[in-house]
Amino acid sequence: MIPFSFAYLWIFIVAAFGCLVFCLFAIGLIFSKQCRIKLKNGNIFLQSLFFSSCLCVLLAIGLSLLVKTAKNESQTKHEAIYQTLTTPQTILGIHMPKGTKLWLFEPNNLNSFREATFPIPVAFGHFQITRVQIPRGFELEMFDDRSITLDGKGIDQIEGWQCKLENYMKVYLDEQANLSGLAFCVLANPVKLKQITLQANADLQRSQSPKYPDGFIAQDRWLIRNPITHYKNIPIEWANVYLDKNHQLLGIENGTLAKDIYFGGIYYPKGSAFNLLVHPLIKDQETWLFTPPMNQTAKMNNGTIYTDQHAILHSAKGEILQVLNAYDASIMYRSSNS
C-alpha cells in the first residue's frame, strides 16, 4: 500500500494531470475531425500522449480504489479501538454504565482498555469518577507506573491520607476495583504531624526507595510538595517534605526561606536554600544546610561573607558544623533526588 504522505503527492499530481489530458483528447476526438485524422494517421507524439493519458486514467482509478480501501481499513481499526458500551458491563471489576466510551489497547478486547470515559459519574469509595486511565504499552514499559488515574470529584481517605479529587488522582485498585493504595493526590485538609503541619491543597505522592550514587538507599516514603510554612523556627516556602510509611519526618529538601532570618550567628537573606537532608551529611544528628541565593550573601557577626558558592551546615541548635562547596557532588546529589 502506498503511504499517504507528501513524499508521494507527485503520484496523485501525475494521475490528475494525465486525466486532464485524457479529457482534452476525449473532447477533441468527439468534436474535432482533424484531431481524429491526426491520431489515426500515426502522429507519434499524439499517439504517445494519448496512450500515456490512458495509463494515467488507469492509475487514477487504482489510486481511488486504494484510497477507498485504506479509508475502510482505517475506519475498521478505529471502530475496533474506540468503542461505546451499548449495555452496562463490569470490566476489570469496574461497573461501567451504558454509553461508556472506551479506548482499547488491543482491538476488540474490552479488558485492555487504556481509557474509559463515563456518561455519568461512577462511585469509587466516596469519589465520583468520570474517567479512568490505565497505562499500557510503552507507558508501562518506560515508566513502570502501574497506578490508575482517576478524574472526577470527591473527598475520601486512602492509606491514612484525606485526599481531595478536583482534577485527577493516581491510585491502585484491587481485583474488585476497590481503592487499595495511593500514588498521587491533593491533601483535602491540613494534617498535623509530630514536628510539622502539612497545609491543605499540597501535592502528595508515593516515592519508592531511591538509591543515591554512593549506594545509600532511602526508605519507601511520601513526598509532599510545598506543604509547610515553617519548620520549628525556620520560615519556609517551596519545600519538598519527605515522610516514611508511618508519616514520620525523613527530610525537608529544596526549600527556600520565606523571609530574612538570623540563625547560628549568620544573617541569611530571604530566598536562601534550606535542606534537612533525607541522606544526611552527618549520621544520627539533625543538621540543617543553608545556601545563600544567587547575587546575594549571608553575613556573620564577625563580617565573614558567604555566597551562593557556600553551603553552611548547622546543628538544629545553630552551631556551625561545616562550610562546604555548594556545588560539590556530594551536596548536589543529596539535594536533587526528587
Q: Model confidence over 232-252: pLDDT tens digits?
A: 989 998 899 999 888 889 899
User: What gap in Å lies between CA 185 and CA 151, rounded to an integer?
Assistant: 11
- Residues 100, 207, single domain; the answer is no
| Residue 117 structural domain | 85-189
Q: What is the DSSP string of 127-162?
A: EEEEEEE---THHHHHH----EEEEEEEEEEETTEE
Least confidently predicted of 7-21, 52-66, 141-155: 7-21
- Residues 241, 305, single domain; the answer is yes
Q: Which of these three, 139, 161, 189, is where a domain ends?
A: 189
Is the pLDDT at 35 greater than 80, yes or no? no
pLDDT of the residue at 125: 86
What percent of the chain lies above the pLDDT cut of 90? 48
Give the confidence band of 134 by pLDDT, cuts at 50, 70, 90.
very high
Q: Which of these three, 52, 67, 82, is where a domain ends?
A: 82
Is the pLDDT at 216 greater than 70, yes or no? no
- Residues 96, 76, single domain; the answer is no
Which residues, other chains included, contact 44 with Cβ-Cβ below 8 Å and sequence gap of 6+? none
Q: Which of these three, 36, 58, 82, is where a domain ends?
A: 82
Give the confidence band of 1 by pLDDT, cuts at 50, 70, 90.
very low
User: What gap in Å lies between CA 251 and CA 3, rounded to an integer?
Assistant: 55
- DSSP-based three-state secondary structure for 261: strand
Give the confidence band of 200 by pLDDT, cuts at 50, 70, 90.
very high
Can you read off the three cell numbers belonging to residue 255? 526549600
pLDDT of the residue at 47: 59
Give the confidence band of 83 by pLDDT, cuts at 50, 70, 90.
very high
Is the pLDDT at 178 greater than 70, yes or no? yes
pLDDT of the residue at 224: 93
Residue 330 parent element (H or E):
helix 329-334
Predicted confidence (pLDDT) per residue in 274-332, tens digit? 999 988 888 889 999 999 999 999 999 999 999 999 999 999 999 999 999 999 888 88
- Residues 111, 180, single domain; the answer is yes
Q: Residue 206: inside a domain, yes or no?
A: yes
Predicted confidence (pLDDT) per residue in 68-81, tens digit? 777 777 777 777 89
**Contact (CB, 8 A) for 239 and 254:** yes
CB atoms within 10 A of CB 235: 17
Percentages of the chain per state (helix, strand, coil), in multiples of 5: 25, 40, 35
Q: If we measure between CA atoms, which residue out of 201, 163, 200, 199 comes closest to residue 181? A: 163
Is the pLDDT at 93 greater than 80, yes or no? yes
Q: At what angle do helices 9-31 and 33-40 cross, to 10 degrees?
A: 110
- Cα distance from N-terminal residue to C-terminal residue, the chain: 48
- Residues 216, 185, single domain; the answer is no
- Residues 74, 90, single domain; the answer is no
Q: How many residues does the chain have?
A: 338
Q: If we measure between CA atoms, which residue out of 82, 162, 91 comes closest to residue 122? A: 91
Is the pLDDT at 188 greater than 80, yes or no? yes
- Residues 322, 220, single domain; the answer is yes
- Residues 143, 216, single domain; the answer is no
Residue 160: exposed, middle, or buried by beta-carbon count in 10 A (0-12, 13-18, 19+)? Answer: exposed
- Residues 180, 202, single domain; the answer is no
- Residues 68, 98, single domain; the answer is no
pLDDT of the residue at 42: 60
- Residues 40, 114, single domain; the answer is no
pLDDT of the residue at 209: 61
pLDDT of the residue at 151: 96
Q: Residue 1: inside a domain, yes or no?
A: no
Give the confidence band of 256 by pLDDT, cuts at 50, 70, 90.
very high
pLDDT of the residue at 86: 94
Give the confidence band of 138 by pLDDT, cuts at 50, 70, 90.
confident
Is the pLDDT at 212 greater than 90, yes or no? no
| Mean pLDDT score of the chain | 83
Is the pLDDT at 56 greater than 70, yes or no? no
Provide the domain count of the chain: 3
Q: Residue 320: inside a domain, yes or no?
A: yes
DSSP-assigned letter for residue 111 = G
- Residues 297, 197, single domain; the answer is yes
Selected residue with higher pLDDT from 82 and 195: 82
